[in-house]
Amino acid sequence: MKKIVVLISGEGLTLQALIDACKCGRISAEICAVISNKSSAFGLQRAKLENIPTQTFLRKNFVDNQAMDQAIGDYIQSINADLIVLAGYMKILTAEFTQRFVGKILNIHPSLLPKFPGLNTYQQALDAGETEHGTTVHFVNEEVDAGAVVLQAKVPVFPADTVTDIEQRVKTQELRIYPLVVQWFVSDRLKLINGSAYLDGEQLPSHGASY
Ligand code: GRF
């Protein structure tokens, strides 16, 4: 059985969806560790409830980001994880880390990339007068929110929407699509080859597959 490590910084709703999917067999893999860069991350409690080992790496305990990511990477290598899943991990990974695990890191970002990388995507979408928004699962490379796109899910944006309305709509989709993509990866259907995402041997378009 393949081993997954999940990196979090906060609430861990996405982590919970992955835990539940592993428990019910929708993901045929084991979450072998949850790593956080915040000791207060509620996701750590979720992991503990499921007897999943947790590790916390605090930036203040390392001389620089590179040293921190080196330690995280060494831990991940020591437990032989096959896949690193970023689930609300709010710290930018160093290029050394992303290159060390190239093709093995997935992230979910709440926008239809390449639109709105970075933070506050819901507000950005509202400000831009978008009529649709969404979420993207992508491989991680050394640029923030820029690796090969695997799957996108769209949601409508209505004229009277608030940030919360859009966020709720997007999150509902995120909890559906992330377990699906993780299952594609652990069942060897999804691969990163020369910077492009392939599903079942077919290169995915630049906006990925659509949910
Ligand atoms: C998700 O909305 C995802 O798009 C972003 O972080 C959020 C996950 O946070 N990268 P959490 O699972 O609720 O902690």
All domains of the chain in start order, with CATH = 1-101 (3.40.50.170), 109-134+143-210 (3.40.50.170)
Options 109, 133, 138, 207, the catalytic residue: 109
Mutate to test the pocket of ligand 1, among 108, 145, 168 (most ligand atoms within 8 A of CB): 108
174 Cβ closer than 6 Å to some ligand 1 atom? yes
Q: What is the pLDDT of residue 190?
A: 98
Q: Residues 53, 33: contact at Cβ < 8 Å?
A: yes
Digitized pLDDT (tens) for each residue of the chain, 211 residues in all = 999 999 999 999 999 999 999 999 999 999 999 999 999 999 999 999 999 999 999 999 999 999 999 999 999 999 999 999 999 999 999 999 999 999 999 999 999 999 999 999 999 999 999 999 999 999 999 999 999 999 999 999 999 999 999 999 999 999 999 999 999 999 999 999 999 999 999 999 999 999 8
Q: Residues 211, 151: contact at Cβ < 8 Å?
A: yes
Helices (H), 50-162: 65-78, 95-100, 121-127
Q: What is the pLDDT of residue 88?
A: 97
Give 14 Cα–ligand 1 centroid separation in angstroms.
Answer: 6
Q: What is the pLDDT of residue 159?
A: 92
List the beta bridge partners of residue 191. 198
Q: What is the pLDDT of residue 152?
A: 98
User: Could you tell me the pTM of the whole model?
Assistant: 0.97
Strands (E), the chain: 2-8, 29-36, 54-56, 83-86, 105-109, 132-139, 149-156, 190-193, 196-199, 202-203, 209-210
Q: What is the pLDDT of residue 192?
A: 98
Distances (CA, A) of 96 to 88, 132, 175: 20, 35, 29
Burial (CB < 10 A; 0-12, 13-18, 19+), residue 91, is middle
Active site residue 109: yes
Dist CA 20 CA 22 (whole Å): 5
Binding annotation: 90-93, 107
Q: What is the pLDDT of residue 95?
A: 98
Q: Which residue has the CA at smallest separation from atom 9 of ligand 1?
A: 88
